């Protein structure tokens, strides 16, 4: 699994805190952001079968 850019993880953590009022440490924020991206990719590619590395579309 490829790592998300640090700035993207920070932004995700900020948005998460704004929306839910919960602060995430960088490790938790990275895991939740990756899970969200994987879910999004799975929904977009449902039935298509065209996934790239890490299940993310090419």
How do residues 20-50 score in pLDDT, each as one tens digit?
Answer: 999 999 999 999 999 999 999 989 887 665 5
Residue 57 in this model has a pLDDT that exceeds 60:
no
User: Distances from the Cα of 40 to the Cαs of 13, 23, 25, 30, 56, in angstroms?
Assistant: 18, 23, 22, 15, 9
pLDDT at 44: 87
pLDDT at 50: 58
- When pLDDT is cut at 50, 70 and 90, the band that residue 14 belongs to is very high
Give a three-class secondary structure readout of 15-41. Answer: HHHHHHCCCCCHHHHHHHHHHHHHHHH
Q: What tokens does 10 get? A: 């920070």
Residue 1 in this model has a pLDDT that exceeds 80:
no
Q: What tokens does 47 get? A: 């039935």
Residue 52 in this model has a pLDDT that exceeds 70:
no
Check residue 21 and report its DSSP letter.
S
């Amino acid at each position: 699994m490829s790592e998300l850019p640090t700035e993207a993880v920070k932004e995700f953590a900020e948005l998460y805190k704004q929306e839910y009022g919960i602060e995430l440490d960088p490790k938790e924020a990275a895991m939740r952001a990756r899970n969200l991206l994987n879910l999004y990719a799975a929904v977009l590619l449902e039935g298509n079968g065209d996934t790239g590395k890490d299940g993310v579309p090419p």
